[in-house]
Amino acid sequence: MKQQYNKNPEAVAALSPEQYHVTQRNGTERPFTGEYWDNHEPGIYVDVVSGEPLFASVDKFESGSGWPSFTRPIQGDNVVQKRDFKLLLPRTEVRSAHGDSHLGHVFKDGPREQGGLRYCINSAALRFVHLDDLESQGYAEYKRLFGKEQA
């Protein structure tokens, strides 16, 4: 049975002030301050509000921006892109599809050999699920991302 994800009111009520500001008020955490900007552990990143799988550590790279950066989402249909005109130059906002959480922005300055995109994501919008915990937390299907020996 396929997992159904949606905006969880209990999860929203339990958010820290920073998480609420980022996910519900379209905020941005300060660079180099988020919990995951320098995380190098294997696993996946899920929406802190809905739990929907968003990004995998195998697609994470060091961008020097101070935020976790990924070349692509795990599943394209779990991430929605919207035009953002808050600054002088238009940007593309990234939101979780089912939780409607603001995640960050996507830019076209990522590694060319991996598609050229940089998903610049706020740590406050994410919850990290370590590879060792994928099965126990209901994300066993994503073990395949880490090679045959992990499946």
Query: Domain-by-domain residue ranges, the chain?
Result: 9-146
Mean pLDDT of 87-115: 90
CA–CA distance, 92 with 83 (Å, rounded to integer): 5
HEC per residue, 44-62: EEEECCCCCEEEEHHHEEC
Third-level CATH fold of 9-146? 2.170.150
Q: What is the pTM of this model?
A: 0.91
Of 129, 101, 127, give the one whose Cα is nearest residue 22: 101
HEC per residue, 122-135: CHHHEEEEEHHHCC
CA–CA distance, 131 with 71 (Å, rounded to integer): 19
Catalytic residues: 120
CA–CA distance, 28 with 91 (Å, rounded to integer): 14
**What is the per-residue pLDDT across 47-60, written as a single tens digit (0 to 9) for each?**
999 999 999 999 99
**What is the per-residue pLDDT across 4-30, written as a single tens digit (0 to 9) for each?**
787 888 899 999 999 999 999 999 999
